[in-house]
Amino acid sequence: MNFTDKIKLAKPGIAVLLDLVAVTTFLLGLKNISLLWKVFPLLISGTMASFASSLANNYFDRDIDGKMERTKWRASFKGGIYLPLSVISLLAFSLVISMVFLNLFTTIWILGGFLSYSFLYTVALKRRTSWNIVIGGIAGSFPALAGWSSVNTPISPVSIFVAAMVFIWTPTHFWTLAMKYKDDYRKVGIPMLPSIREEKFVVNVILVNTVVLVAFSFLPVFLRIQFPVLYYILLIPASIYLLARVTFLLLPRGNRAARSFKAFLASNYYLSIFLAILILTTLRF
């Protein structure tokens, strides 16, 4: 395994997305420009915790990774004792940085993200229930809480809203990807929804979840969360694009696996655009 593959084990793409979530609520919660420097320990701590949870996921799944086309490259890594030691070291470093430079609540949220992905999702749910990614998706919500609490109150309606958005977004994001690799999950006995139910049912569930996601994104206007009108205007085209990509999965002809992957990419774009819009339209110092 080359150096690039070793880096990929830590899933830096996931870390970047989670960091973006944390930075969004950090900026939304920032009331004093003199605290802007705290974004650096937040990013360092969050990234290290994300790397630790990804490596823990690889460690716990080492018996099945080599059997799946998408992950078989990981089997060439013979980390031995060094893999769990890396997990412990990265997590310890993350929590120390957070405690020293941020605060207790932020540290709790960061630890919660690690535990929920590494143990709740990977160990407790992934191999036992098709609700695995639904419940386990809470792992992606913790960065929203951590970002806000690092410069503001421990929790707020804004941080809860962003955390809930990520939670609701996760099934659409993951199931569209799992549709492409459903044979992989079926081969190793992972009860991911696309691997155990017929495609039509899965597509309908994804569509319903996506409609709920888009509807929820417009909820602040009813919750009296103060987002400018521009937020809703900019979110409309992104919402239409995501709904269109998911709706295309209903078409009976053509390569549905390819369309599901495009829907997966659309879900990534949607969350990134949602976070960017939040920063653009609500940033105040």
Kindly give the confidence (pLDDT) of every residue in the chain, 285 residues in length, as a single tens digit, with 9 standing for 90 and above.
Answer: 666 767 888 999 999 999 999 999 999 999 999 999 999 999 999 999 999 999 999 999 988 988 888 888 887 776 678 889 999 999 999 999 999 999 999 999 999 999 999 999 999 999 999 999 999 999 999 999 999 999 999 999 999 999 999 999 999 999 999 999 999 999 999 999 999 999 999 999 999 999 999 999 999 877 777 788 888 999 999 999 999 999 999 988 778 889 999 999 999 999 999 999 999 877 654
pTM of the model: 0.94
Count Cβ atoms within 10 A of the Cβ of residue 7 and give its class: 0-12 exposed, 13-18 middle, 19 or more buried.
exposed
Owning domain of residue 170: 3-282
Half-sphere exposure of 78 (CA within 13 A, CB side): 0
Task: Work out how many domains the chain is built from and give that number.
Answer: 1
Both structure tokens of 169: 């977004």
Q: DSSP alpha helices (H): ranges in the chain?
A: 3-9, 12-29, 39-60, 62-65, 82-101, 104-115, 132-136, 142-149, 157-180, 182-188, 193-196, 199-217, 220-223, 229-247, 256-282
As a whole number of angstroms, the distance between CA 109 and CA 115 comes to 10
